[in-house]
């Protein structure tokens, strides 16, 4: 890269930083939870902030891509996707390093990002060239089907725009308010990363939450949703790139269309979760191994291990990926001899562990459990409470026997609510995925065939864990490639294919149109456009969409600063302050009743913890009652509603889904003039 190109890159980053700083100064004052309220300006700021970090990460990752052979080995689309994934991982690890060193502050985070910008400035020009070439490549794919090209643009752009509106709205989804945002918020308040044993999930791998913390540091919590949305679209690009290489241009677009045609997929991408980053990293790990199979250079295995390590650093559930990848690699490498293949698999697994090690070593050093709390637990999470949480995780699905595994292709669709945790009505895989069962008898592309064995391994390991549909997301890209290969082969055998796959393309377009229809319905229900454009206040939106927001507002406005409100069956703590003691695992009520089964014992236990109030989350309770194999939550609900509250509770706040009780039996809980009447 020339000095002129480097100067141009520095100029780009300089202008972006200046614009971001100006917009931050012009943002309205602080709103709920100290975060600036949403408005057209705030939405633009969040979008520009995310775009800046994406460009910065992709530029940084492009430099790191020097470990992969260049030239014709990677097309522009592949380079963009891998560069983005690596660069964002580097940024997340850099911010994590700041947190460990006690510099988790806005100024230090900004300094790291500026240094990263300086280091990657000369890569901006080549990155933009890749973008231009990828756009030209996509346009060339549709050179003989202009009507289809405009249809694709219309469908994709419509879904992208509508889902972006949701991403720019204030965060409202459950897990985001429990720990994806709450953990980095608390780290910023402390100025460092430290154990948070009271929030179970905040002690796992937090690579993506470090990036969310950067957004919070610069005054935007909606940044987290926009970044998650960006990862969803990069996953779509990764499927397109892999499909084009394995199946040709039509196959790439069919595979990407199958993924986008899953109605819940674009909606999942709008939440402040980490499922999309996990899926990106897992799929790229698989894709790099497949590339290694065709081009056995060690660089591909290194790249795959880095991707898998970043997946393992993004979400604990990726532990179920590692054995599948290692075994699959051993099978693929068997042509070199089983001993050599086994050594390759072990070295590969070790490399994954090295990349992911920072998160698990920190837990080992600070909590004595690398997978806290599942090995040794702790004071906040003794064995009985961990067992309740494992019961909850294991309650999803329709059974765990061999016959139940064979019935998965049926149950995932016709009993999909048993696997669902979010929007159960549309939480199911693509309707084209069952065609994968035909792969053994249909002569699909040789490049796709090895994916079947990995898919079976990964599915079996998912089956052994928590059988939630959302946790299948990392497998969806693999299934999209196999399904695309099957349907294209069937169309060809039935002699329905002409110049390009008309029937398959029509079916895929219909699925994408269905996703668009569901997205429109979802948008009409949530109405995010008003708050994004500044036509509705942030607080008004949150009162509509966060069912316990009214209760949390009451706690912060009506209860004294020394009040301590223990939330039963409610883990959402992001929109509250230190007065709220959230139940991140939603099993605390059942555990407390096991420890203190009488009113007197419960009174003493709560008093010893300094609890002055209890928040009863009826919505959370109703959900847990659907996942209560031992009846523990039902017993706890009967105890609190029929025994404890009638004797020791005075309702000070009630709405249809949440109630707040002042404890009247404990000596520390006295009536306060600040507490309003129940209402």
User: Domain-by-domain residue ranges, the chain?
Assistant: 1-247, 547-663
Phi, psi of 663 (to 5 degrees): -80, 125
Q: Give kind and range of the element (H or E) at residue 650.
A: strand 649-654
- Between strands 649-654 and 658-663, the pairing is antiparallel
What confidence score (pLDDT) does residue 21 get?
Answer: 64
User: Which residues are within 8 A (CB) of 46 and not within 5 positions of it... i.e. 6 or more apart?
Assistant: 168, 215, 220, 222, 223, 226
User: Between these two residues, 54 and 5, which has the higher pLDDT value?
Assistant: 54
Measure the CA–CA gap between 436 and 445, rounded to whole angstroms. 13
What confidence score (pLDDT) does residue 17 get?
Answer: 64
pLDDT greater than 70 at residue 70: no
Model confidence at 185, pLDDT cuts 50, 70, 90, reads: very high
Q: Which of 244-258, 278-292, 500-514, 646-660 has the lowest mean pLDDT?
A: 500-514
Q: What percent of the chain lies above the pLDDT cut of 70?
A: 90
pLDDT greater than 70 at residue 456: yes
Q: Which of 502-506, 568-572, 573-577, 638-642 has the lowest mean pLDDT?
A: 502-506
What confidence score (pLDDT) does residue 423 get?
Answer: 79
pLDDT greater than 50 at residue 484: yes
- Each residue's pLDDT tens digit, 526-535: 999 999 988 8
pLDDT greater than 50 at residue 108: yes
DSSP assignment letter at 319: G
CB-CB neighbours of 375 under 10 Å: 13
Q: What percent of the chain lies above the pLDDT cut of 90?
A: 74
pTM here is 0.94
- Each residue's pLDDT tens digit, 399-436: 999 999 999 999 999 999 999 987 778 899 999 999 99
Model confidence at 677, pLDDT cuts 50, 70, 90, reads: very low
pLDDT greater than 90 at residue 277: yes
What confidence score (pLDDT) does residue 670 get?
Answer: 43
Going by C-alpha positions, the residue among 235, 281, 252, 260 that lies closest to residue 160 is: 260
Mean pLDDT of the chain: 90
Mean pLDDT of 102-114: 91
What confidence score (pLDDT) does residue 292 get?
Answer: 93
Model confidence at 679, pLDDT cuts 50, 70, 90, reads: very low
What confidence score (pLDDT) does residue 41 get?
Answer: 79
User: Between these two residues, 227 and 114, which has the higher pLDDT value?
Assistant: 227
- Each residue's pLDDT tens digit, 6-46: 666 666 666 666 666 666 656 655 444 445 555 677 888 89
What confidence score (pLDDT) does residue 676 get?
Answer: 46
For 547-663, CATH number?
3.40.50.12610
- Integer CA distances (angstroms), 240 to 164, 228, 255, in order: 21, 19, 7
Q: Which of 65-69, 238-242, 378-382 has the lowest mean pLDDT?
A: 65-69
């Amino acid at each position: 890269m020339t000095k002129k190109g480097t100067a141009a890159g520095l100029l780009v980053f300089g202008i972006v930083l200046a614009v971001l700083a100006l917009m931050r100064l012009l943002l309205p004052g602080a709103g709920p939870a100290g975060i600036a309220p949403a408005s057209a300006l705030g939405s633009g700021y969040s979008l520009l902030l995310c775009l800046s970090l994406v460009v910065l990460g992709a530029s940084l990752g492009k430099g790191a891509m020097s470990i992969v052979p260049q030239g014709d080995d990677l097309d522009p689309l592949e380079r963009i996707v891998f560069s983005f994934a690596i660069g964002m991982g580097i940024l997340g690890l850099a911010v994590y390093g700041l947190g460990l060193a006690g510099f988790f502050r806005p100024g230090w985070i900004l300094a790291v990002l500026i240094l990263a910008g300086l280091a990657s400035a000369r890569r901006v020009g080549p990155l933009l060239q890749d973008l231009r070439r990828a756009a030209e490549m996509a346009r060339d794919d549709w050179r003989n089907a202009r009507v289809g090209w405009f249809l694709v643009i219309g469908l994709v752009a419509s879904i992208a725009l509508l889902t972006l509106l949701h991403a720019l709205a204030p965060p409202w989804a459950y897990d985001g308010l429990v720990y994806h945002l709450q953990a980095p918020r608390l780290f910023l308040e402390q100025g460092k990363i430290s154990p948070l044993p009271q929030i179970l999930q905040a002690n796992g791998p937090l690579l993506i939450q470090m990036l969310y913390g950067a957004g919070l540091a610069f005054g935007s919590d909606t940044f987290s949703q926009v970044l998650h949305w960006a990862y969803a679209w990069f996953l779509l690009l990764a499927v397109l790139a892999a499909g084009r290489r394995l199946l040709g241009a039509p196959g790439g677009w069919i595979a990407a269309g199958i993924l986008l045609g899953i109605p819940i997929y674009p909606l999942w991408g709008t939440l402040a979760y980490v499922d999309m980053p996990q899926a990106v990293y897992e799929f790229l790990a698989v894709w790099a191994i497949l590339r290694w199979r065709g081009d056995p250079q060690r660089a591909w295995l290194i790249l795959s291990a880095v991707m898998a390590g970043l997946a393992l650093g993004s979400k604990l559930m990726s532990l179920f990926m590692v054995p599948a990848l290692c075994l699959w690699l051993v099978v693929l490498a068997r042509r070199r001899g089983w001993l050599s293949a086994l050594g390759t698999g072990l070295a590969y697994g070790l490399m994954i562990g090295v990349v992911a090690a920072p998160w698990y070593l920190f837990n080992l050093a600070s909590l004595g459990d690398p997978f806290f709390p599942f090995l040794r637990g702790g004071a906040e999470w003794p064995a009985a409470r961990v067992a309740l949480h494992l019961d909850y995780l294991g309650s999803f699905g329709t059974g765990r026997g061999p016959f139940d595994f064979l019935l998965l292709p049926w149950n995932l669709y016709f009993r999909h609510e048993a696997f669902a945790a979010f929007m159960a009505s549309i939480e199911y895989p693509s309707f084209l995925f069952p065609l994968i069962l035909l792969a053994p008898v249909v002569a699909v592309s040789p490049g796709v065939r090895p994916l079947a064995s990995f898919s079976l391994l990964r599915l079996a390991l998912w089956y052994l864990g928590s059988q939630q549909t959302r946790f299948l997301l990392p497998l969806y890209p693999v299934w999209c490639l196999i399904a695309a290969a099957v349907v294209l082969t069937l169309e060809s055998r039935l002699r329905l294919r002409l110049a390009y796959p008309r029937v398959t393309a029509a079916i895929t377009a219909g699925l994408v149109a269905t996703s668009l229809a569901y997205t429109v319905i979802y948008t009409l229900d949530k109405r995010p456009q008003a708050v994004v454009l500044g036509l509705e206040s942030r607080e008004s939106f949150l009162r509509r969409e966060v069912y316990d927001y009214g209760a949390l507002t009451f706690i912060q406005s009506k209860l004294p600063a020394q009040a301590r409100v223990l939330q039963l069956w409610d883990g959402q703590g992001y929109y509250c302050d230190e007065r709220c003691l959230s139940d991140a695992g939603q099993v605390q009520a059942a555990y407390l009743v096991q420890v203190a089964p009488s009113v007197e014992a419960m009174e003493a236990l709560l008093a010893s913890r300094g609890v002055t109030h209890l928040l009863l989350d009826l919505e959370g309770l109703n959900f847990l009652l659907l996942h209560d194999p031992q009846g523990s939550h039902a017993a706890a609900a009967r105890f609190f509603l029929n025994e404890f509250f009638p004797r020791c509770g005075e309702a000070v706040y009630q709405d249809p889904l949440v109630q707040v009780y002042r404890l009247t039996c404990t000596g520390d809980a006295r009536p306060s003039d600040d507490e309003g009447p129940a209402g």
